[in-house]
């Protein structure tokens, strides 16, 4: 006859199971947005978007940057047109033409949620999600009793994971 689990172990397993089901969607979002964030400095999955904004005429290159809420570095000025890496600004008409690379709408929303800070209303959800992941780490060690072979084998995998994490952090 199988040995009964302790009440704490049973409770951990139940919470682990249902919290896992509950957070399956958000874990998928964080997994996808995490992969997309690895490529954030490239144009992977991004589309080119042309933006035209009407600004006041006769602004200098340094004055255009805060008006567009972008960091722009003037590359050259020629014939009343100020050129930036991202586009240009016509000093006579006040029209700024910019080229941006943006992720598709849904992926962009996922990435913004992934990178939420205390300025975002989502940051409480991010804290809850982080705490839930930490609970998954701790509760995984309550799945089996230490006397079981599967627990001992799990400890080898946990040790290998810790070593891999240290290598990734410090190499």
Burial 125-140 (b: 16+ CB within 10 A, else e): ebeebeebeeeeeebe
- 3-class DSSP state of 52: strand
**pLDDT > 50? residue 37:** yes
Q: What is the mean pLDDT of the chain?
A: 91
DSSP assignment, residue 119?
Answer: T
For 39-83, what is each residue's pLDDT tens digit?
Answer: 999 999 999 999 999 999 999 888 998 998 888 889 999 999 999
Copy the structure tokens of residue 15. Answer: 């919470």
The confidence score (pLDDT) of residue 60 equals 87
Q: Taking Cα atoms as reference points, which of 136, 146, 103 lies closest to residue 5?
A: 146
pLDDT in the model for residue 50: 95
SS3 state of residue 148: coil
Alpha-helical (H) ranges within 4-104 are 7-22, 24-38, 61-68
Give dist(CA 164, CA 73) in Å, integer: 41
Q: What is the pLDDT of residues 122-167, one digit of tens each?
A: 889 999 999 999 999 999 888 888 888 999 999 999 999 999 999 9
| Residue 89: closest CA among 67, 105, 115 | 67
Q: What does the pLDDT look like over 96-118, one tens digit per residue?
A: 999 999 999 999 999 999 999 99
Whole-number pLDDT of residue 6: 79
pLDDT at 1 (0 to 100): 47
Give the pLDDT confidence score for residue 162 in this predicted structure: 96
| Domain ranges for the chain | 7-42+105-170, 47-102
Distance CA(131)–CA(151), nearest Å, equals 24
């Amino acid at each position: 006859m199988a040995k009964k689990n302790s009440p704490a172990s049973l409770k951990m397993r139940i919470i682990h199971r249902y919290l896992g089901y509950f957070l399956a969607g958000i874990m998928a979002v964080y997994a996808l947005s995490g992969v997309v964030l690895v490529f954030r400095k490239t144009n992977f999955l991004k589309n080119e978007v042309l933006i035209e904004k009407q600004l006041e005429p006769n602004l200098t290159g340094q004055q255009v940057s805060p008006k567009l809420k972008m960091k722009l570095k003037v590359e050259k000025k020629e014939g009343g047109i100020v050129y930036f890496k991202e586009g240009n600004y016509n000093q006579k008409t006040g029209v700024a033409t910019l080229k941006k690379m943006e992720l598709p709408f849904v992926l962009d929303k996922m990435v913004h949620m992934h990178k939420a800070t205390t300025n975002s209303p989502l940051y409480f959800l991010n804290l809850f999600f982080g705490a839930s992941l930490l609970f998954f780490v701790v509760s995984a060690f309550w799945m089996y009793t230490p006397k079981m072979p599967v627990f001992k084998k799990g400890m080898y995998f946990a040790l290998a994971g810790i070593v891999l994490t240290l290598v990734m952090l410090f190499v």
